[in-house]
Homo-oligomer: A and B are copies of this chain.
Amino acid sequence: MPYSVEWIDDHVRLLDQRLLPREERYADLSTSDEVAAAIRDMTVRGAPAIGVSAAYGVVLAALTAEPDDRNRPVEDAIAVLAATRPTAVNLFAALDRMRRVLRGSEKDDLVAALLREARQVHQDEIDASLAISRLGASLIPEGATVLTHCNAGMIATAAGGTALGAIVEAYRQGKVARAIATETRPLLQGARLTVWELVREGVPTTLITDSMVGHMMRTTRIDCVMVGADRIAANGDVANKIGTYGIAVLAKAHGVPFYVAAPTSTVDLSLRSGEAIEIEERSASEVTSFADVRVAASGPEVRNPAFDVTPHRLVTAIVTERGILSSPGTQELRRLAGPSGRRGK
């Protein structure tokens, strides 16, 4: 499985996820502005992968700045990177770590210190993904059919995957009979990326449109839902790809366990509930066009919220690298996710 993010000598290499599965092309980026643009246009996507990419972007800002005056351009780069996408909190958590290193480092050691920290952010996400995959797999019963939404896989994270990592790990353990992937409109991360990863891993996979989840739950056995998260509030409310909330309501109606798999870097203890999570509104053209062909009639207002919020009462358990929280609430999340899960603002 290719890497979504890699540091190579003096630059960042990103797998261009917009072109998958038709083309496996990489972008070599040498400035933090290029990294910011790549996050914005979703060359790289997935909450953990965004955080890692941004951390390397900060290193690039230091590398390309005048050696005698690195602080201002690096601070500016952090601000630009933080403004790329508003919902996934891993981005802010990674940038906070980089800012702390920036402020605590000697001038001569700055580039090396930032690169060390970015590599550590990366390694932490890899470690978290592996731990989450193992823990998540333990929730999946023998012979299971598991439904997932969007892509919380190897390419959404720095490696391993969260929700999809758990499904693949459980498959390797012989427990998964079938994975069901929603296509995930508008950008089709499910049809393009999740199916691509699952088929590569040999997992028997069924692709459905987002609108088929209810019918599948009514007419076939689905043992659990396993999704990722872009931000988790202190009370356990989960922001994830648009459509997640509807799946959670259907899961509740059908008695299907609904699991969220995400690193503690996704937990934002500064937000009391999901109501406070900013939901990114993306371009209308993502909805009105399909594969670059205009499909919708002209004239309507178009809504394109990229995420929605699933209230914690619909979440059976949250799987983090530090453990599984059943019926997650504020106290449990504070204990598990603090202090490294706390966003420093």
Contacts and interface: CB of A to CB of B under 8 A. Distances in A.
A301 B250 contact: no
Nearest to A248: B214
A253 B253 CA distance: 9
B218 A245 contact: yes
Interface in A44-101: none
Contact of A207 (B191, B249, B300, B305): B300
Contacts of A185: 183, 185, 209-211
Contacts of A192: 295-297
A290 B296 contact: no
A184 interface: yes
Most buried by B among A182, A185, A186, A193: A185
Contact of A195 (B246, B249, B299): B299
Interface residues on A, range: 35 or more
Interface stretch (A116-124, A197-205, A225-233): A197-205
A304 B291 CA distance: 20
B288 A291 contact: no
A212 interface: yes
A4 to B, nearest CB: 16
A22 B211 CA distance: 24
A154 interface: no
Contact of A205 (B183, B188, B250, B300): B300
A109 B243 CA distance: 57
Contacts of A206: 300-303
Interface string A232-265: 0000000000110110011001000000000000
A215 interface: yes
Contacts of A287: 183, 191, 207-209
A193 B297 CA distance: 7
A295 B305 contact: no
A106 B308 CA distance: 64
A305 B215 CA distance: 8
Contacts of A249: 214, 249-250, 253
A331 interface: no
20 contacts: A21-B296, A21-B298, A182-B211, A183-B296, A185-B210, A191-B288, A193-B297, A195-B299, A199-B300, A206-B303, A208-B303, A209-B243, A209-B304, A211-B211, A214-B308, A215-B309, A218-B308, A290-B290, A290-B295, A293-B293
